[in-house]
Structure 1
Amino acid sequence: MPMSESKPDSPPSTNPSETISMTRSTTLWPFGLIFSISVPVVAALLLFQLDSFDPAPIPTHEFTRHIVSVPRRNARMLIGSDTIGFGQLLAPEDLAYDPHSKLIYTGCSDGWIKRVTVNESAAATVVENWINTGGRPLGLVLGHNKNEVIVADADKGLLKVTEDGKVKLLTKEAEGVEFKLTDGVDIADDGMIYFTDASYKYNLSSFIWDFLEGKPHGRLMSYDPSTKKTEVLVRDLYFANGVTVSPDQNFLVFCETPMRRCKKYYIKGKRKGSVDVFIYNLPGMPDNIRYDGEGHYWIALSTEATFSWDMAQRYPWIRKGLAIMERYTGRPPMERNGGVLAVDLEGKPTAHYYDLQLSLVSSGIKIGDHLYCGSVVYPYIIRLNLTQNPALANI
């Protein structure tokens, strides 16, 4: 039996008005299609031309699409990992570990600096609200006094939290320019504090505009607690982020996120005050960097070096298009394969831990056999047993 019954064709219309209407519709439909397509295109082009946002070209020698070779990888680090403080840690951006108390200090998006116990069992973890800065604590480092923490607060500036819970502002400007996004921090053995202001133009809520504009608004600075002097060490950095003092105390390593690189700044010796390469062509955008005391730095990578970000870096008009989308509709997600890269004292990669489902990983520290990772989006710390889930040699 046929699926539908066929009907004889209808006879052609003999009504002149109907014939004219059909002919007119047949003639005009391509123009209607063209009109429906061209109007939004013209509107988009007009919007593009009229929008005042003007991204800058990034010098070609400042950026490369090559990626450094890594000998060992774990590309599925979420398999075998567990979560610490689920739901109690809102975007724990940086992690600072105190081996004496066995506590991790971390700053969260609700303004709380929280203390997290380190146990073999994730279920036995205890999360304690310690101090609320009233801002957004990002970088953290233990001070030289007991239970003292130095905080790079994106909103407040460089802070010191004392053992008795008092929050003291150390500095919030340099050379007459206030910090807009105080980000990474570390402290040297002599007490000097080194920190970054990722951007003196954009704050944390609008940081993406710093990336899209493509201009170097970041600074690396020092604060001397004995003189209370703030000094700018390096200017014109592309979103200056994590910073760490080398174990020999001779130099700093600091990250420039959109440029996928880390540099050295010498604080002692004949090269004092000069800047050098530590590692370029990272497989992702670096956030914080930590030294583990065992010969390795751990660099958090918020996202891999995707093709879309690579093109945006190279062509200002793409960044302008993304800026218009960000303003009116929201830009498409471009972050994936976040993780942590381990490098030796010379800046040579040794292992890369990442996962396609991860993004915006902001810190990584090795404590015993485990890698602990912070984030600016997840409500927990990610923990991975490196012995049970090692990075394997590339085949």
Structure 2
Amino acid sequence: MLKKIVIGFGVIVLFLFLYLLLYPVPFEPVSWHQMENPGLVEDLAPNNELRNATPILEGYPQPEAIALGPDNRLYTGLKDGRIIRFDHGGINIEEFANTGGRPLGMKFNQQGNLIIADEYKGLISINSTGKMEVLADSVEGTKIKLADDLDISSDGTIWFSDASQRHHADEVLMEFWELQPTGRLLKYNPATKSTIVEMDSLRFANGVALGPDDKYVLVNETVGMRIKKLWLKGPKKGDVEYFQDNLPGYPDNITYTEKGIFWVAFPSVRTGTLEPLYTKPMLRKIAYRVSSVFPPEMPPPYGMIIGYDTLGNVVYNLQDKSGLYHDITSAVQTRDTLYFGSYKMNKAGYFLTSE
């Protein structure tokens, strides 16, 4: 009897060993070294400033990004493909169009067309009557898998991100397990209707914003926890450097205001759960197999929007430790009001700034 118990136990141990070592996982991990999490300290110390925000669009599914239109109304895209518009304060809401995909980052061009980075459709344009045109759904022979955010230069050039060539937004956790740098910063020329890759090897390329006088463009790496700067003019033209590195959270969208502020939305602060395994691909596979049986505890909802000046100094530190506002993905300022959206909340909000 004892012998049977021992054999049975051995079979179970062997099965678990083989499962942890060999069972297929849905990603191909690579090694990557990341600096230690600096945490929320000094200028980024935790606070509850965002709790002073006012909720709007309650009941609307995941209004991710918000853009100000030439009609002085605000526009946002929803999870179900709809684009709605509304007056300041979140009133007089109406449907404007439906992309049939998932509209993410958006801006209006000089002609009054709404340019959208749609997760499934690519880069698209919608005119004032709601007519949609696909501007780009591939680049240099490869499919644009996850068009994410954009900005438009004074000459009409559209800079936009292709977050990943491997996963869609609802699979973003796979990016952290995998760490493959397949994100890209793309440039669309409306005159030639051509798209080129300006920067690649990004770890989930996300927010895009042009700096003052279009001298440079910033692109957020959500999984990379940093913001890169590509110089477009001057003696540094073509150079790439860090605007922010080793951030304590995962940067999503970014917008620039004429007041010289880059607003960066952080859907989450860093958890550190997987970071010790970033240089150990095999152990990440094992950890994933364990997590499928014993799911890890997810970080609590947290809200954070940071305003940086052009030198990278923190000017605004807006957080919500309580999680009333959380998973914030975008922030855009109109005069003294900061509107923000989320990819998980079924609402948006606005915050009155000091300016």
Higher-Rg member (1/2): 1
Matched, 1:56 2:21: no
2:71 aligned partner: 101
- List gaps (5 residues or longer) in structure 1: 1-23, 391-395
Tell me how far 1:327 sits from its aligned partner. Answer: 5.6
1:386 aligned partner: 353
* Match among 92, 109, 116 for residue 63 of structure 2: 92
SS of residue matched to 1:212: helix
For 1:142 and 1:266, the matched residues in 2 are separated by: 23
SS of residue matched to 2:251: strand
Deviations 1:204-262, CA, capped at 9 Å, x for gaps:
33232122111101011100010011110011111000001112211101000012110
- TM alignment of 1:301-312, pairs within 5 A: 301-312=266-277
SS of residue matched to 1:71: helix
2:52 aligned partner: 80
Tell me how far 1:108 sits from its aligned partner. Answer: 0.8
Q: Which moved more, 1:313-322 or 1:337-346?
A: 313-322
Tell me how far 1:74 sits from its aligned partner. Answer: 6.0
Tell me how far 1:203 sits from its aligned partner. Answer: 2.1
For 2:8 and 2:353, the matched residues in 1 are separated by: 60
1:341 aligned partner: 306
Tell me how far 1:144 sits from its aligned partner. Answer: 1.1
For 2:136 and 2:293, the matched residues in 1 are separated by: 36
Q: Could you state the TM-score of these two structures normalised by the residue count of structure 1? A: 0.81
Deviations 1:77-127, CA, capped at 9 Å, x for gaps:
35322210101x2101111123x53321111100011112113xx6xx222
1:118 aligned partner: 88
* Match among 55, 60, 65 for residue 37 of structure 2: 65
- TM alignment of 1:310-349, pairs within 5 A: 310-317=275-282, 319-321=284-286, 323-324=288-289, 332-334=297-299, 336-349=301-314
Q: How many residues align?
A: 351
* Match among 211, 223, 235 for residue 270 of structure 1: 235
- TM alignment of 1:242-261, pairs within 5 A: 242-261=207-226
For 1:383 and 1:327, the matched residues in 2 are separated by: 38
Tell me how far 1:318 sits from its aligned partner. Answer: 5.3
- TM alignment of 1:1-395, pairs within 5 A: 42-53=14-25, 54-58=28-32, 60=33, 63-67=35-39, 70-71=42-43, 75-87=47-59, 89-98=60-69, 100-119=70-89, 125-146=91-112, 148-317=113-282, 319-321=284-286, 323-324=288-289, 332-334=297-299, 336-356=301-321, 357=323, 358-387=325-354
SS of residue matched to 2:213: coil
SS of residue matched to 1:79: helix
Tell me how far 1:323 sits from its aligned partner. Answer: 3.4
SS of residue matched to 1:307: coil
Contact 1:155 1:181 (C-alpha < 8 Å) held by counterparts? yes
Q: Could you state the TM-score of these two structures normalised by the residue count of structure 2? A: 0.89
Change (3 A) 1:363 1:313: farther
Identity of aligned residues (%): 31
1:11 aligned partner: none
